[in-house]
């Protein structure tokens, strides 16, 4: 058994607290800030054991040092970003494993948004913490890596089981769905998802986590190799990679 608490931070970031209920071992994923995390730990009488960082961007590591100072936790993050993750203790690389109590995490390197980006996947708990690689109906901007890396990182995530619950770094669903609809305006599933998303947001709720199985069907980026989607976009002669590049470029200026 485990519990996950979502803390909204900055303008649209999500910080997560994972608690293994049997042992009370606790981790914080991508602390954008320290204060909200420390307040929550205090309120819940939790002792923080670890920080998990997916990548080095400030809106994911901004709380690292202050939280470490106050809680004495250990910080796990990508080996490739060793120099850029404040306070890192345990560097992680592809296929490393880490147990948080009963939750077994496997690490995947998913470059593209940044060159060192990793995600934390748990098969037994059906969890994926993917930072800024996959968002609901979207994907991260390609800052340091290449489009080729981003597409292959998304394929790696797409190969995970449909039942996986995805916890991403930002609440971007609303603008992503508007973009997805601009490509595929008549898509009934997208239109009904838009309604659901608007209802959630209007009631001050989050659209994250989301189900990977649904995402495989609706996320335009994950359908870059879908022949009928390519045809609808008018790019049926494009390779999967070229289709991904095309969609990414359109989104960058959307």
Sign of CA dihedral 174, 110, 184, 165: negative
**Total binding residues toward Fe ion, as defined by CB under 5 A:** 3
Can you give the length of the chain in residues?
A: 254
Tell whether residue 170 is a contact of Zn ion (CB under 5 A).
no
Tell whether residue 171 is a contact of Fe ion (CB under 5 A).
no
Q: 180-206 burial by CB neighbour count: b if 16+ within 10 A, else e? A: bbebbeebeebeebbeebeebeeeeee
Orientation angle between helical segments 188-202 and 173-183, nearest 10 degrees: 160
By C-beta, is 32 or 125 nearer to Fe ion? Answer: 32
Stretch that binds Fe ion, among 117-125, 126-134, 146-154, 233-241 (CB under 5 A): 126-134
Tell whether residue 57 is a contact of Zn ion (CB under 5 A).
yes
* Cα distance between residue 138 and residue 174, in whole Å: 10
From the candidates 170, 196, 237, 252, give the one annotated as an active-site residue.
170
Q: For this structure, is 102 an active site residue?
A: no
Question: x/- site string to Fe ion, residues 224 to 243, per CB under 5 A?
Answer: --------------------
Q: Which of 20, 109, 132, 215 binds Zn ion (CB under 5 A)?
A: 132
Q: Which helix (H) or strand (E) holds 244?
A: helix 240-252
Q: For this structure, is 170 an active site residue?
A: yes
Q: Footprint of Zn ion on this chain (CB under 5 A)?
A: 57, 132
Active site residues: 55, 57, 59-60, 113, 132, 170
């Amino acid at each position: 058994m485990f519990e996950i608490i979502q803390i909204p931070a900055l303008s649209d970031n999500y910080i997560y607290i994972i608690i293994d209920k049997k042992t009370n071992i606790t981790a914080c994923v991508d602390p954008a800030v320290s204060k909200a995390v420390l307040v929550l730990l205090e309120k819940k009488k939790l002792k923080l054991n670890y920080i998990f960082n997916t990548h080095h961007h400030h809106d994911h590591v901004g709380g690292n040092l202050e939280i470490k100072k106050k809680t004495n936790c250990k910080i796990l993050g990508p080996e490739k970003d060793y120099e850029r993750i404040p306070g890192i203790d345990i560097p992680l690389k592809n296929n490393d494993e880490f147990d948080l109590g009963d939750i077994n995490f496997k690490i995947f390197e998913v470059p593209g948004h940044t060159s060192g980006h990793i995600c934390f996947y748990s098969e037994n708990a059906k969890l994926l913490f993917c930072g800024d690689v996959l968002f609901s109906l979207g994907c991260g901007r390609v800052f340091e890596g290449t489009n080729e890396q981003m597409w292959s990182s998304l394929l790696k995530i797409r190969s995970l089981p449909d039942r996986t619950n995805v916890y991403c770094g930002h609440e971007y669903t609303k603008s992503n769905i508007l973009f997805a609809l601009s490509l595929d305006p008549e898509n009934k599933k997208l239109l009904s998802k838009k309604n659901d998303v608007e209802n959630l947001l209007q009631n001050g709720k989050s659209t994250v986590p989301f189900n990977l199985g649904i995402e495989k069907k609706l996320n335009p980026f994950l359908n870059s190799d879908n022949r009928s989607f390519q045809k609808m976009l008018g790019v049926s002669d494009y390779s999967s990679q070229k289709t991904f590049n095309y969609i990414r470029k359109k989104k960058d200026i959307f």
